[in-house]
Every structure is written in structure tokens, then in C-alpha cells.
Chain A
């Protein structure tokens, strides 16, 4: 599409303070600089309260920095939101009970004024992508948690946003479903070439999925370490490889060091 060489996400010197000036003031993020390349897969990891979700929400223009800049594809985050540059998936699937799976996937398209036949076609394509073609006419509550998350990812991707923001999307799933979903999301990433920013508190999940793991530390939220992960193509055996365990150890050390320094 565009020839510009803007980074997908460019955060400079961003600080976020909740309840400024009040007794319950919290410095959630403190002078964050972060640049995320187009089409990369980046995870944000850290203990609770380290500001990783807040950082993701800054990218999604769901909250605004107290100081500093957030640019998405070379635009302000708000402009990117209005341009529908990003899709979101949360820990709770956020599917609407009263809409069938297909209608849920069609919702953003409907709001964007797509014609009925275009919506149908795209929803079918998305259901195929997340391997739920037979479930289009079901209501969300008839699906398992993992299936619901797949629908929510299909919905987030339906309008082809360039950036996918995911906030612990597999946090509520059991371990086996979770590993399966990780493979799925990597598959989708490979097929679609989106930029994915993924918040998690699972170290193996971050290492398995990402090209880059951003380790954050709490109070105030800072980037403790930016770890590049190069494990090649992820296959079943990747999880059993020594390189995988080395990276896990590296991330754990980064997290532990910060915890012990208090």
C-alpha cells in the first residue's frame, strides 16, 4: 500500500501517570522509548502492575500519555484509531452474546459500511483462517473458550488492520489449548504479515511467539530489557530445544533481577 518507512509503533519518552496530584497517584509508565518494526511480532512481559497493558492501551489510543508521543504508522494513535489501523483482542473474548459468530466477525465491517455480500464473503474467509467454518451460525456461548478467542481474533483481523494488539488473549485458557492457540496465531501472523504486539505474563509464551521480548519492571513501569529471539521457524520441537530454554532462562533472569532489586 503506502511506500512510507514509518515504524508500525513509535513511542518516544512516554510517561503515564494515573490520578496525578492525588494521594493514589500511580506512575504506570516512566519515560518509555519503544520502536516496533512493521510486520514484526513483539511481546510485552512483566509482573502485574508493570504497565504492560497500559503501554498496549497507549498504542490503541484507549488511553493517552501524560507526557511524550505515541505514533502508529507515522500518525497519532487517535488518528490511527479513526483510520481503523488496528484490531484488538483481550483476555475476555469480548464477543457479543446476541450475535452469531458470523455476525460478530461482521460487526466492524458493518460499522465501516461494507455491503452485506462483502461482509459475508470476508466473514467466511476469516472463519476459514481460524478453522471455524462450521460454526458461523452458532452463538458465542455455544463455543469453548479457545474457540471464542479464535473468533475474537478473526473479528480483529476482519477489516485487515495493519496492527494487531493482543492483551493476554490466552490468559484464561488451559495449557494445552493455549499451546495450540499459540501455533494458530503464529500461523495467522505468517499468512497475514501483520504487526502483532502481544501482552502476556507467560515466559514460554512470549519466547515461543516473538521475535522480540520486551521485559518490563514495575513501579514505575520501565523497559528493563529488550531481548531479541531468533529461534527460526517455530515447530513442535522448538519447545523442547536447548535454545528455547536458554531464551526462557534469559527472560526469567531479567524478570528476577528486577524483582530482587526491591
Chain B
């Protein structure tokens, strides 16, 4: 098991370390004046020195990301269930979802700040929710509605009710697409939260930390905060993948039976 994990991740680790070394080398020897993009070693040092500040900022941003992500995913799933179940919901809520998605969402940030107060986290959460719900909604709806005709006819021959069809066929059928959208949503949530924080919300969060450090030309510190955001995204992505494995055992690696 452990050997399998090591073997599976070895190429990525080698590639990553190689990339960082190349970056370090390029910055040190090829472009020594380029302080805008510091070498990774300086970013690492800044990360360690500023750890307390970065950790606090990561926790604050993480709160926005996780709460917004959960609310947005719930909204997307409920919306998808309604649309796939009721024709009227499909005819009204689907165009609404598409219209909401067409809004340049970041452009709403200053408006939300005006609504909820510049230092309130609510406007940031609202941005994350709106950003996250759409991919979840679109993918889950597709999964709920693209069921094979044979499967529906079988359920009909069992005289199954609509709810039984939803529960035993449509929802499991939607799981792979739902989890794909969850992975997309988890990364989007981090992006949405940090960019929303540029415009307002708590000041001890990753967004403001990046802005302030960049403004004072403290690029290693700014990059260290960016790295913290990336790590948050990766962790959320991995957690989404973990849920996926647990929720869909039939997709897990299998020993093929005899024939």
C-alpha cells in the first residue's frame, strides 16, 4: 500500500523538485536582479519567518472558503434536484442559474461590500457561494438526467415510484459528475475567497496579506501567502477525492474476477 503510494507519487515529486531547482537556478544565475519573482528558497524563508501571520490569515481565509464551499455545494445540489424533478423548476431556475453564472462575479465584490459592510466576511462568503454553485449545479443536473433508457424501463417494469427512481438510479448515476464538480469547486472556492478579500472583509486574511506585501515590494512574503493559498486548494482537492473514494466504492480499483 505504502509502496504503491510512493510509486504513484514519485514522478510528481521528482518533477516538482526539479522544477523548483530550475526556478532557483534561473533566478540566482540568469536573472539576479529580478526581485519580482524571488527564488523559491527566499519564499520558503519568508514562509517560515512569517509563519504566525500566514497561519492566522490562512485560517481566516479557510473559514470563508470552507463555509462558502459547503453552502455553495448544497445550493448547487438542491437546485439540480429541483430542476431534474420539476419541469417548472427547469424552465425557471435553469435560465436563472445561467444568468447568475454569466455575471462577472468578482465585479460584484464591491457591491456586496457595500451591502454587508466592508469588513464583514459575509460578502466574501457570498462570492464563494455564487462561484461554486454553478459547476456543481450543471454537473449534478447532467448526472441526474442522463440515465440510460434501459435502466428507466427496468424501473418502470418494477412499478417504481418517481422518488424510488431518483433515489436508486438518478442520484447514484450523478455521483461521478458531482464529485468531478466538487474538485473544480474546491479550487474555485480558494480563488474566489482570496480575490474577494482584495476588495474587503477581514484584513488579517490571505488576500489582504498578498496585497499589502506586494504593495511594499515584499515579494517573497507575498509569494509565501500565495503558496499558503495553493496548499489550501490542494488539501481541499485531496479531501474531495477522499470523499469520492468513500462514496463510490464501485469505482475503486478492483481485482478483475476470473473471466
Contact = CB atoms under 8 A, between A and B. Distances in A.
Nearest to A62: B153
A139 interface: yes
B162 interface: no
B257 A60 contact: no
Contact of A97 (B156, B158, B159, B250): B250
A92 B153 CA distance: 12
A140 B248 CA distance: 14
A60 B154 CA distance: 10
A98 B157 CA distance: 20
A138 to B, nearest CB: 5
Contacts of A62: 153, 156-157
Contacts of A142: 254-257
B157 A81 contact: yes
Interface in B56-115: none
B33 interface: no
A90 B151 CA distance: 10
B159 A81 contact: yes
A94 B259 contact: no
A92 B250 contact: no
A87 interface: yes
Contact of B150 (A94, A99, A138): A94
A94 B154 CA distance: 8
Interface string B143-171: 00000101101101111100010001100
A88 B153 contact: yes
Contacts of B150: 90, 92, 94
A220 interface: no
Contacts of A96: 151, 168-169, 172
B158 A147 contact: no
Interface magnitude class on chain A: 20 to 34
Given A139-B250, A141-B250, A86 B148 contact: no
Given A92-B148, A96-B172, A86 B157 contact: yes
Contacts of A90: 150, 153-154
Contacts of A92: 148, 150
A99 B250 CA distance: 8
A107 B168 contact: yes
Interface in A135-181: 135, 138-139, 141-144, 146-147
A157 to B, nearest CB: 13
B19 to A, nearest CB: 37
A102 to B, nearest CB: 13
Contacts of A84: 157-159
Contacts of B188: none
B177 interface: no
A95 to B, nearest CB: 9
A99 to B, nearest CB: 8
A108 interface: yes
A111 interface: yes
A82 interface: yes
A82 B158 CA distance: 8
Contacts of B156: 61-62, 81
B175 interface: yes
Nearest to A132: B257
B159 A138 contact: no
Nearest to A108: B158
B127 to A, nearest CB: 35
Nearest to A86: B157
Given A87-B157, A97-B172, 12 more contacts: A90-B153, A90-B154, A97-B250, A98-B172, A100-B250, A111-B168, A138-B257, A141-B250, A142-B254, A142-B257, A143-B259, A147-B259
26 contacts: A60-B153, A60-B157, A62-B156, A86-B157, A87-B157, A88-B157, A90-B150, A90-B154, A94-B148, A94-B153, A94-B154, A96-B151, A96-B172, A98-B172, A98-B175, A99-B250, A107-B158, A107-B168, A111-B160, A111-B164, A111-B168, A142-B256, A142-B257, A143-B257, A143-B259, A146-B259
Interface of A: 60-62, 81-82, 84, 86-88, 90, 92, 94, 96-100, 107-108, 111-112, 135, 138-139, 141-144, 146-147
Q: Top 4 A-B pairs ranked by shortest CB distance?
A: A94-B150, A98-B172, A144-B259, A139-B250
